[in-house]
Structure 1
Amino acid sequence: MHQLSGLDATFLYAEVNNSPMHIAPLTIYDPSTTGTDVVRFKDILQTFANRLHRSPVFKRKLAMVPLNLDQPYWVEDENFDLEFHVRHIALPKPGDWRQLCILVARLHARPLDRARPLWEAYVIEGLDNVAGLPKGCFAMFLKIHHAAIDGASGVEIISAIHDLTPVPPPPREEAPPPMDRGPGNLEMLWRAYKANLRAPLQLARLVTQGIPAWRRVHAGVKAKKFRTLGEKERTRFNAAISPHRVFGAADFDLALVRQMKEAATGATVNDVILSIVGGALRLYLLDKQELPERSLVAGAPVNVRPQTDTGSAGNQVSMMSIALRTDITDPLARLQAVHDEAVGSKAYHQAVGARLMTDMTQSLPAELAALAVRAALGSGLMAGMKPIFNTIVTNVPGPQVPLYMGGAKVVRSYGLGPCADNLGLFHAVTSYNGQIAIAFQACRQMMPDPGFYEQCLYDAYKALQQAVGIQLQPKTRVKTKTKTKIKTKTGTRATTKARAKTQAKTKSRAKSGGKESGAPQAGTTPKAKPVPKPARSKTGTRSSAVRPKRTTSQ
């Protein structure tokens, strides 16, 4: 029996029909490393069954305190059913990237069943037409409620179901741990009574911590060590959200991102990623003619879990505010400015105190916190408030060595997080085995064209790498069909289509006495031929030099 912290419970209270509060890693696997090129669904079920003991999240469910007089408890599910939580589905043909994104967005928009352990895993087959992936790949989409884990503890859960070699070690034969008896209603009410007696003392302690923090912030602003970002600009992503979601992601080479950071004094990989997000938002909002004059601001979650508490689940995070400098056109100048903003934000964060936010949620009475959050969400007050952040950008470093599940190698790794009223766009940055990816999810009404925003991320990345001087073509989701090439008599190479066109022109010239159809007459100035527009790909990506037509669906 384990009681939720105040911050964990806040994610429960903030969950409403249009805003499920779970986070979800999306991993893609190549089964060719198994030796048989096949991973059966029952093998994946067995992998989960063998690893359930590695994390308490898998088998525990909620026990709510009557009248919300105290924070809920985690108790073990006596009727745990693994096959309810692990499910098997497939994409319809052709099975491309955009289809996968649509399916993941729909699954992510559904809330979890609170009567059971708060997680679900979907094994997704049929990814044969996703560019850059070998045939036979499959994906796993793992939804876990934010009340149970944060980004750091989520990485530990991913490690629990993966191996470092294609051949998994034999399962250890251990006696199952004793069933954790859940508290009855009377016991929970007695615990709530004692907790509420201590609440005034905890609140007084919080006030004594807050006064010195306010003084440190005031002194830091006066000394110009950092600046407060003031009132935030409102964008299309800062309003009431719908229950529908979109998803997309952009992949980059981690080594090249590390090379880019050297272009700005003292910059980090996280600064490069934030500047790319800022550049993408600038391109996207410019296209909508909605770019504010002042910079947009991102909320960046920070892990405040002590080193001695690395194995615990739950949430131990604080939040930093970092200006994305969407007001700067030059990508290199934006990178330097983002780094300067991040340095100031870290100083501000240290002045406030890293754990002040978590301590604050722990000190508030549970019934008061639940009532306040639900009243704000239910009345629309949250959507009408001035935004605290324009978007969330969370960076979750992953392992830099290959991982395997059932012998299949992980080849891609992405992350998804929750959207809420006034925060309709969420970015999750994940790194794995030399790769780094920026995944995003948004309200579908706020972002009806996720393929275009995905291309904005690639364009912002390409603009930065060109400014830095790195010659690199960014990855794309487009699968191009190569035309059959033939060798002409002159030794040059041309496509069959071009050859047929040349032959047609020759016949036409012969019939017209040597004059080509449409050729300019003497004494006239030839008109310039219009430049043909490039064809739009099925995946919604585009060339960085040409703006595509906008779509209104996923």
Structure 2
Amino acid sequence: MKRLSGLDASFLYFETPEQLLHVCGLVLIDPETMPGGYSFPTMKAAMEARVRVVPEFRQKLRHVLLDLDHPVWVDDDHFDIERHVHRAALPAPGDERELADLCGHLAGIPLDRSRPLWEMWIIEGLTGGRIAVFAKLHHATVDGLSGMSMLAHLTSLEPEAPAPKDESEPLTAPGQVGLLARAALRTASRPMRVGRLLAPSVGALAGTANRAARGTAMAAPFTAPRTSFNGTISGRRSVAFADLSLDEVKAVKRATGSTVNDVVITLCGGALRRYLESRGELPSTSLIATVPVSVRGESDAPGANQVSAMFTKLGTDVPDALERLALVSQGNRTAKEHQKAIPASALQEWAEMAAPRTFGMAVRVYSSLRLAERHPVVHNLVVSNVPGPPVPIYFMGGEVLGLYPLGPVFHGAGLNITVISSNGRLHVGIMACADQVPEPWDLAGFFRQEMLALTNAVG
């Protein structure tokens, strides 16, 4: 067995029918490169050969009696690919908006917790003979980088690649007596673990206060302006996506001395400014985004989710694109310095104290009382930038034409923009609460306009 870390398990506890915490991805594929051509049975069989040798694809949850400790992963002895890989088709020829509508519908359906927490839909009927794969993996199993790692098991650098060998050790199902004994030991040691965390946490808070006094702190939570996507979310999802040239992004980066991440966040800020302005909703102060930061290699805490987070201003209150980039770049430098001053494993270690029943009940109360609309806005949205493969890749032999990450949304922040670079392109994935952002394609269209504004500004 393998115990979930506190941070991994927290994504289970925070989930409700409205706040679904699976990570999604949309892969557009050219089937012409598939050896022997495409057929659903052949593709499903090839996927089964690969997922069976990857432990994360075939493991399911086992809960501790009375939820006295975090769940554990065990092998699903009845693993059936039919329960995870499904077939769908759009009325041909299906366009991108019809594809996005289907993906939004699928994103609003919870995963079955009695099975391994993933599923994929192979979607046919797209224009140009393309096919798509819509994937859902629970956040308890992956973060941005580990999600890319799992995807790598289904992709290759050439159309024909042999299935990997299974070299993993099976996870045996433990008895409840053993699980309860482990839970008792962890419960007894909790006061000591809290004591060890207090000193560095107090130090980090004191450091944050000093930085705030000197003006060198990251953007403060609970200071974001309220927008139409900052409230209690429903279970309905809307999806859109866009493509940009990575060469253009890098040209702006070189001309301004910024980073690719600075340019990406500036593009998000500019697109959001245009979107809110077109709706007559543009706040006078800047939107604030939570930006996940990988601590993989810096933290020794276990778990699939190896992340921290920083808050950054998007410059939506600045009309000039180049001036916005300068402000975002400076803000990001400040936020990164501040974030590095916080222990890398702080979030994971405090999450170990999460009590399953208490957290689950608190989230349900928070949702039912619509408290996200009563307190100051913590942050407006999540913006994430994930590095991807710089070369062409093939999914089950089909060349990948588009790779769009779609992160979850939360009560109080019903919009997620996740960006990934791949083979010279920048793929932008937008996931939103459909009741708060009913037309995400409006937002997606503004990304290209912002890219043009930046490239024109730097000549």
Alignment TM-score, normalising by the size of structure 1: 0.79
Q: Which amino acid aligns with 2:151?
A: I
Moved more, 272-281 or 312-321: 312-321
Using the TM superposition, give the Cα deviation of residue 171 of structure 1 relative to its aligned residue in structure 2, in angstroms.
5.2
> Could you say which residue in structure 2 is the equivalent of 1:465?
455
The answer as to whether partners of 1:429 and 1:438 remain within 8 angstroms in 2 is yes
Structure 2 unpaired stretches of 5+: none
> Could you say which residue in structure 2 is the equivalent of 1:191?
182
> Could you say which residue in structure 2 is the equivalent of 1:73?
72
Change (3 A) 1:203 1:372: farther
Q: Which amino acid aligns with 1:127?
A: L
The answer as to whether partners of 1:54 and 1:160 remain within 8 angstroms in 2 is no
Match among 170, 173, 182 for residue 173 of structure 2:
182
Using the TM superposition, give the Cα deviation of residue 399 of structure 1 relative to its aligned residue in structure 2, in angstroms.
0.8
Change (3 A) 1:426 1:177: closer
1:198-256 residue CA offsets vs partner (Å, 9 max, x unmatched): 11111111111112212322333344433543621111111011211111111011111
- 1:344 equivalent to 2:337? Answer no
- 1:289 equivalent to 2:288? Answer no
The answer as to whether partners of 2:103 and 2:134 remain within 8 angstroms in 1 is yes
- 1:2 equivalent to 2:19? Answer no
Partner secondary structure for residue 151 of structure 2: helix
Using the TM superposition, give the Cα deviation of residue 67 of structure 1 relative to its aligned residue in structure 2, in angstroms.
2.1
Query: In 1, distance between residues paired with 2:278 and 2:404?
Result: 26
Match among 243, 246, 254 for residue 238 of structure 2:
246
Using the TM superposition, give the Cα deviation of residue 383 of structure 1 relative to its aligned residue in structure 2, in angstroms.
4.5
Match among 416, 422, 428 for residue 432 of structure 1:
422
> Could you say which residue in structure 1 is the equivalent of 2:255?
263
Moved more, 329-338 or 457-466: 457-466
Using the TM superposition, give the Cα deviation of residue 309 of structure 1 relative to its aligned residue in structure 2, in angstroms.
7.7
Change (3 A) 1:178 1:263: closer
Q: Which amino acid aligns with 2:236?
A: H
> Could you say which residue in structure 1 is the equivalent of 2:137?
144
Change (3 A) 1:39 1:345: same
Partner secondary structure for residue 428 of structure 1: strand
Using the TM superposition, give the Cα deviation of residue 366 of structure 1 relative to its aligned residue in structure 2, in angstroms.
4.0
Change (3 A) 1:204 1:328: same
Query: In 2, distance between residues paired with 1:227 and 1:361?
Result: 22
Alignment TM-score, normalising by the size of structure 2: 0.95
Q: Which amino acid aligns with 1:51?
A: R
Moved more, 277-286 or 313-322: 313-322
The answer as to whether partners of 2:271 and 2:447 remain within 8 angstroms in 1 is yes
Q: How does 1:293-372 map to 2 (within 5 A)?
A: 293-306=284-297, 314-372=304-362
Q: How does 1:525-544 map to 2 (within 5 A)?
A: none
Using the TM superposition, give the Cα deviation of residue 371 of structure 1 relative to its aligned residue in structure 2, in angstroms.
3.7
Query: In 2, distance between residues paired with 1:349 and 1:186?
Result: 41
Match among 398, 402, 411 for residue 392 of structure 2:
402
Q: How does 1:38-57 map to 2 (within 5 A)?
A: 38-57=37-56
Partner secondary structure for residue 62 of structure 1: strand
Query: In 1, distance between residues paired with 2:256 and 2:170?
Result: 55
Partner secondary structure for residue 91 of structure 1: strand
> Could you say which residue in structure 1 is the equivalent of 2:160?
167
Partner secondary structure for residue 453 of structure 2: helix
Partner secondary structure for residue 250 of structure 2: helix
1:33-91 residue CA offsets vs partner (Å, 9 max, x unmatched): 2355x222222222222222543211111111222211111111111101210111111
Q: Which amino acid aligns with 1:328?
A: V
Query: In 1, distance between residues paired with 2:133 and 2:23?
Result: 14
Tell which structure's C-alpha radius of gyration is larger.
1
RMSD: 2.0
> Could you say which residue in structure 1 is the equivalent of 2:18?
18
Using the TM superposition, give the Cα deviation of residue 348 of structure 1 relative to its aligned residue in structure 2, in angstroms.
1.5
1:411-465 residue CA offsets vs partner (Å, 9 max, x unmatched): 1100111112101000110111111111111111111222212212222222222
The answer as to whether partners of 1:126 and 1:136 remain within 8 angstroms in 2 is yes
Partner secondary structure for residue 29 of structure 2: strand
The answer as to whether partners of 2:123 and 2:132 remain within 8 angstroms in 1 is yes
Q: How does 1:367-386 map to 2 (within 5 A)?
A: 367-386=357-376
Using the TM superposition, give the Cα deviation of residue 184 of structure 1 relative to its aligned residue in structure 2, in angstroms.
2.4
Using the TM superposition, give the Cα deviation of residue 28 of structure 1 relative to its aligned residue in structure 2, in angstroms.
1.0
Query: In 2, distance between residues paired with 1:364 and 1:451?
Result: 38
Change (3 A) 1:165 1:309: farther
The answer as to whether partners of 1:302 and 1:317 remain within 8 angstroms in 2 is yes
Q: Which amino acid aligns with 2:161?
A: P
The answer as to whether partners of 1:221 and 1:228 remain within 8 angstroms in 2 is no
User: Greater RCO between the two (CA within 8 Å, min separation 6)?
Assistant: 2
> Could you say which residue in structure 2 is the equivalent of 1:278?
269
Identity of aligned residues (%): 37
Count of residue pairs brought into register by the alignment: 458
Partner secondary structure for residue 77 of structure 2: coil
The answer as to whether partners of 2:143 and 2:304 remain within 8 angstroms in 1 is yes
Query: In 1, distance between residues paired with 2:431 and 2:114?
Result: 26
1:496-554 residue CA offsets vs partner (Å, 9 max, x unmatched): xxxxxxxxxxxxxxxxxxxxxxxxxxxxxxxxxxxxxxxxxxxxxxxxxxxxxxxxxxx
Q: Which amino acid aligns with 2:210?
A: A
1:285-331 residue CA offsets vs partner (Å, 9 max, x unmatched): 11111111110001100111217989x86211111101001000000
Q: Which amino acid aligns with 1:88?
A: R
The answer as to whether partners of 1:199 and 1:365 remain within 8 angstroms in 2 is no
Partner secondary structure for residue 92 of structure 1: strand
